[in-house]
Chains A and B, each alone.
Chain A
Amino acid sequence: MISYQKFRIYIDKFFHVIVYLFSFIALIPFLSIIWTLLKKGLIHVNPNFYTQTSPSATEAILANLSGEIIPGGILNGICGSLYILLITIILTVPLGFFIGVYIHENRKQKFSIFIQYISAIFYGMPSIIIGITVYVFIVKSFHSFSAWAGSVALSVLMLPMIIRATDETLKSLPTYLKESGLALGASYTSVILRVIIPTAKGNLLTGLLISVSRILGVTAPLIVTTLGCSMVNWDITKPTSSITLLIWNFSNNPCMADMVWSTSLFLFIFIIVLNIIAKHIAWKWKITLPHE
């Protein structure tokens, strides 16, 4: 018969073992993902992969038959992604920032609370819903899949992230910053533009970069808005490709399985680099203010 004290200690030991075990098991699939990405993705790392457009199915089949690596690359996807992303950022950032400031400045007003709930709904809205809505409004009315339809869809997805980043950043600033600006006789506009924004710029930039890294991996709305294209396209009204669309197209085509991994590896590294830059900026431009 073990004593109650011993029993408690055994329970504690058992608990520790369970926690270690489950944590270890939880990390296995993630390690497997990264391992597979590296193992299968590194085959295609050569200059051509980044400077040529995606291959056709026949080229891929011929390469598979002769045992060579598939020719061609993902240039159309990289250019398309960056192009769509650029338009998205131009559309979203000013608007999202203004809405964030509005929510922060009028936190207790009824209309502002209503806007906060709307923004929360946007934040959790499935991306495919935004995709098909943009399809109805833009693709259907202009009778063509286009790069800007994709940008609009991504903007609607990105908007709540920017709003939240702005709101959280402003929340973290002490109120005396604004009050002392106003007390010195500065107008409301110059307090916002010359005091608040310069102080918060590091955190705002971090928020922007993290939202961009999230947006880069979005696929579903692009499938129904920009469709994809096998050439580099700079025309805003024409179908355009993106990195994620290329992964989707390659994965639907059994003879291009090798390309899937290399493209995914590229996307994954791109996203990690963005995240690391964001962390670095947050750390370097940390808001350090004296306490009240």
Chain B
Amino acid sequence: MIGDFLVLLLFVFVLAIFVGFEVITKVPPTLHTPLMSGANAISGITIVGSLACMQMGNSFFASTFGFLAVVMATVNVVGGFMVTDRMLKMFGSKAKR
């Protein structure tokens, strides 16, 4: 049962990689930097894991690591999306002309 579940997760992993390749292949070079920083912000999804680490009754190390993980992941998520938006705003302003 547990084994089945892990295999299922592996399926998800491999299929998601294929989806990633399909979705991203056609990005024009102009957008490479925003794509990278946007994708980077998405990889900050690990914030979900870090929040779940902040549980009561944790040992000292578990809560310290959890706290640091929350800070780092939030920097990644908030900074990543905001900086990408800032860049794309510059690209967008010229599309209107």
* Binding between chains A and B: no
Where the two chains meet, the residues of A that have a C-beta atom closer than 8 Å to any C-beta of B are none
Where the two chains meet, the residues of B that have a C-beta atom closer than 8 Å to any C-beta of A are none
